[in-house]
Amino acid sequence: MEVMRWFRRRGLDLGRYVAPEPVAPAPVEQIVAEGALIGSSVVRLTLRNRVIVDVLRDRRDLDVARLAAAAAAELETLADQEWASAERIRLRRNVERGGAGAGEVDPDSLAESLRRERVHRGLSAAFAARATDQDVVGEIVERSRDEAWAEIAAVIAKRAGEWALVHDRDPRYDEERAERLGALVAVDLTELAQQRGVDL
């Protein structure tokens, strides 16, 4: 209120509010496709966190089969949740229709309820299909594993850097580094030459 008075006192023209044009709702199929991608991303992040905890905290080896089973189970859980949401909408609509007299049901409200139910049922079917698709599950596992290893590598690099700051390095390390690298390159070149039958 004070802000509006401040603008009026200074004679500023704020213009008139014009409501935006109504936007047609997105097709159900598009919402389902986008929702399925978002759900798969959530599953991928869940698996990534599981890998990180397994490796860093529990010192467990990476078990791809166990991760695949976990991904499928997460997708099945999402499918069940979406189906339950669709059922709640259907039951609520039936109760509202049963309690209303003829002509009292708002057609727009009814249409929106049916649309929301279709979205949830579509998402349920999409997640259930993904849970049984080995290619989809495999891709989720692979991406979650790659993301987890990237994060673990960053943690290890940070810890190694902290260790280097705390522990003094032998002064001869840098002096002898060039010599060690030269020897390493010479070994690699010798092996390569032998493989190709070239005399050095």
Task: Examine residue 30 and state whether it is found in any structural domain, yes or no.
Answer: yes
Same domain, 58 and 104: yes
**Residues 148, 93: one domain?**
yes
Report if residue 108 sits inside a domain: yes
Same domain, 129 and 41: yes
Q: Is residue 191 part of a domain?
A: yes
SS (H, E, C) the chain: CHHHHHHHHCCCCCCCCCCCCCCCCCCHHHHHHHHHHHHHHHHHHHHHHHHHHHHHHCCCCCCHHHHHHHHHHHHHHHHHHHHHHHHHHHHHHHHHHHHCCCCCCCHHHHHHHHHHHHHHHHHHHHHHHHHCCHHHHHHHHHHHHHHHHHHHHHHHHHHHHHHHHHCCCCCHHHHHHHHHHHHHHHHHHHHHHHHHCCCC
pTM here?
Answer: 0.66
Count structural domains, the chain: 2
Kindly state whether residues 176 and 78 are assigned to the same domain. Answer: no
Q: Which domain holds residue 150?
A: 25-167
pLDDT at 152: 76
pLDDT along the chain (200 residues), means of 10: 56 74 87 95 92 77 87 96 96 79 71 93 97 95 88 74 59 67 54 53
pLDDT of residue 189: 46
Q: What is the pLDDT of residue 196?
A: 52
